Amino acid sequence: GLRMDNNHEKHVVVYLGDLGRDIPHSEQTYWRTFNMPPDGEVSDTQFKRGTLGEFADPQSADLLFKQKLAGTNATWEKRFGWKLFLPLTAEDAHYLTTLRIPINDSGSEFDQQVLSLTKVVIDSLNEKEIGKALTSSIEGEKGISKFERFLGELGFVGFDDHISFLRDIQDLRSKGTAHRKGSGYPKVAAKFQLSELGSRDSFREILNRAIAIFDSLETKLGEAVRPSLNPPDKLDVGKSSI
């Protein structure tokens, strides 16, 4: 293994001493081809972890997204007894492990990451358990709509923008990745300022908006965990007011 700072805004930062100690000479020679003068400081996360010996959350949006996803899923499961986002199968696990801020502004990089995000979040919504928890069923209702209605039954408010964002991401995948880009793609791409920001910054903002959903869910679930409420194993989610 090789210790590195992958929370830096522009580069992967590695200490020369670690390069000399932890990887074989052939790999050192390869790394040398990418060597460049220091550009700013190490990230705050790296400084706190490596120098101060403190726990620190990641700063990079892709790393923080993965941490928040796992945390929200754990909190949700503790509250309701089932995961909100289903674990990926072995065949799909790479969508999460390779999810990242695009390494350049190419369209193919952006499309791949949008596909990965929808696989990890939207396609992984636990529709079966959400449907069982709803007090009624609607024929043909899909994942995001079920999720929206379930949040409404729980009494969660202020999630309209989050739901709209999920629909826009799904639309972006449908019009830009899953099929040929047609006349509808520029309109949905404009919602994410893709032309103005470029692929890297646009996707970073997309991840930040996804993180905001996790934070909102964690906040609402935290407000719900009070002694006056039934414990999770006795919770009637259809009648809960949070």
**Model confidence pLDDT, tens digit, residues 168-210:** 999 999 988 766 777 788 999 999 999 999 999 999 999 999 9
Residue 220: per-residue pLDDT? 92
Residue 99: per-residue pLDDT? 96
**Contact partners, residue 133, CB within 8 Å, separation at least 6:** 80, 150, 153, 237, 238
Cβ–Cβ < 8 Å for 65, 210: yes
With a cut of 50, say whether residue 226 has pLDDT above it.
no
Decide: pTM greater than 0.75.
Answer: yes
Mean predicted confidence (pLDDT) in 121-143: 94
HEC per residue, the chain: CCCCECCCCCCCECCHHHHHHHCCHHHHHHHHCCCCCCCCCCCHHHHHHHHCCCCCCCCCHHHHHHHHHHHHHHHHHHHHCCCCECCCCCCCCHHHHCCCCCCCCCHHHHHHHHHHHHHHCCCCECHHHHHHHCCCCCCCCCHHHHHHHHHHHHCCCCCHHHHHHHHHHHHHHHHHCCCCCCCCHHHHHHHCCHHHHHHHHHHHHHHHHHHHHHHHHHHHHHHHCCCCCCCHHHCCCCCCCC
**Model confidence pLDDT, tens digit, residues 47-67:** 887 888 887 778 899 999 999
